[in-house]
């Protein structure tokens, strides 16, 4: 079977803090270097495209104001499709604001933002903002996950599995030592940077699971990753 992945970038023009768009470019490049095709569809406010069968859905981060703007669009136009895609085992990468919106709610000084309740988690705004470089340890990966966080929200993931254990930085809420969430084939995380260029193992984990689901073959040829590993170590 011809291996090609179709990536959907949701709210590419509204949620794109700290180079989050670079995550899409990293996925495209790491597929192309292995001779695997990819197609990217960008969907923003008010746009729906049900004809396309996406394999990976990416949502970036934003400020509270931007998150508020798209709440109605998210729940009314896209919520049911996102719910079905998660249940169907599609791969999701949701950063910061995108991560918070997967949960039940995000409470702020300005009121409650209702989330999609797709993952059992919730977020409450706190003070001060949690701003730091971050290093995580993940049991599945041989190198640490590194990135940068800047969020007012404190996220609580209940009984879900975290993305990693915090070695440096704050993580989900600065208290429980957890960062991010793993649920089905969804990864939610506060890490910008962007995340994937400096963490090629995380990128390959996502690509591998999407290929496995689509073609029954998630094997990926190893890449040299010289600069990527140097960036990660730095």
Catalytic positions? 96, 192
Least distance from C-beta 197 to ligand GLN, angstroms? 18
Coil, helix or strand at residue 167: strand
Contact, 141 vs 201, CB < 8 A?
Answer: yes
Residues 8-37 touching ligand GLN, rule: CB under 6 A, are 17
> For 16-31, b where at least 16 C-beta lie within 10 A, e where not — what string?
bbbebbbbbebbbebb
Nearer Cβ to ligand GLN, position 193 or 200?
Answer: 193
Least distance from C-beta 176 to ligand GLN, angstroms? 17
| Cβ-proximal residue to ligand GLN, closest one | 61
Distance of CA 7 to the CA centre of its chain: 13
* Residues ≥6 apart with Cβ < 8 Å to 139: none
R_g of the chain computed on alpha carbons: 17
Length of the chain measured in residues: 234
Candidate list 8, 21, 43, 62; residue touching ligand GLN; CB under 6 A: 62
Nearer Cβ to ligand GLN, position 16 or 209?
Answer: 16
Please work out the total of residues on this chain that contact ligand GLN, with binding judged by CB under 6 A.
12
Least distance from C-beta 138 to ligand GLN, angstroms? 21
Stretch that binds ligand GLN, among 44-52, 62-70, 74-82, 157-165 (CB under 6 A): 62-70
Nearer Cβ to ligand GLN, position 22 or 153?
Answer: 153
Stretch that binds ligand GLN, among 2-10, 36-44, 56-64, 139-147 (CB under 6 A): 56-64
Distance of CA 217 to the CA centre of its chain: 23
Nearer Cβ to ligand GLN, position 61 or 194?
Answer: 61
Least distance from C-beta 104 to ligand GLN, angstroms? 15
Contact, 101 vs 74, CB < 8 A?
Answer: yes
Distance separating alpha carbons of residues 130 and 128, to the nearest angstrom: 6
Q: Interface with ligand GLN includes 71 (CB under 6 A)? A: no
**What angle do the packed helices 226-233 and 200-215 form, to 10 degrees?**
130
Nearer Cβ to ligand GLN, position 135 or 215?
Answer: 135
């Amino acid at each position: 079977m011809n291996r090609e992945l179709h990536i959907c970038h949701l709210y590419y023009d509204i949620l794109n803090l700290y180079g989050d768009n670079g995550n899409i470019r990293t996925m495209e490049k790491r597929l192309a270097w292995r001779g695997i095709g990819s197609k990217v569809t960008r969907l923003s406010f008010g746009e729906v495209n049900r004809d396309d069968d996406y394999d990976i859905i990416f949502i970036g981060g934003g400020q509270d104001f931007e998150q508020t703007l798209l709440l109605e669009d998210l729940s009314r136009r896209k919520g049911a499709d996102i719910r079905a895609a998660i249940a169907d085992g599609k791969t999701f990468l949701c950063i910061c604001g995108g991560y918070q919106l997967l949960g039940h709610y995000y409470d702020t000084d300005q009121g409650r933002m209702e989330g999609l309740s797709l993952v059992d988690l919730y977020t409450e705004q706190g003070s001060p903002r949690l701003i730091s470089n971050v290093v995580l340890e993940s049991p599945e990966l041989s190198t640490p996950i590194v990135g940068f966080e800047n969020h007012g929200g404190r996220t609580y993931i209940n009984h879900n599995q975290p993305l990693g254990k915090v070695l440096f930085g704050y993580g989900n809420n600065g208290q429980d030592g957890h960062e991010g969430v793993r649920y089905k084939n969804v990864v939610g995380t506060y890490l910008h940077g962007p995340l994937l260029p400096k963490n090629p193992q995380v990128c390959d984990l996502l690509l591998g699971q999407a290929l496995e689901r689509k073609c029954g073959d998630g094997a990926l040829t190893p890449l040299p990753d010289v600069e990527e590993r140097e960036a990660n170590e730095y």
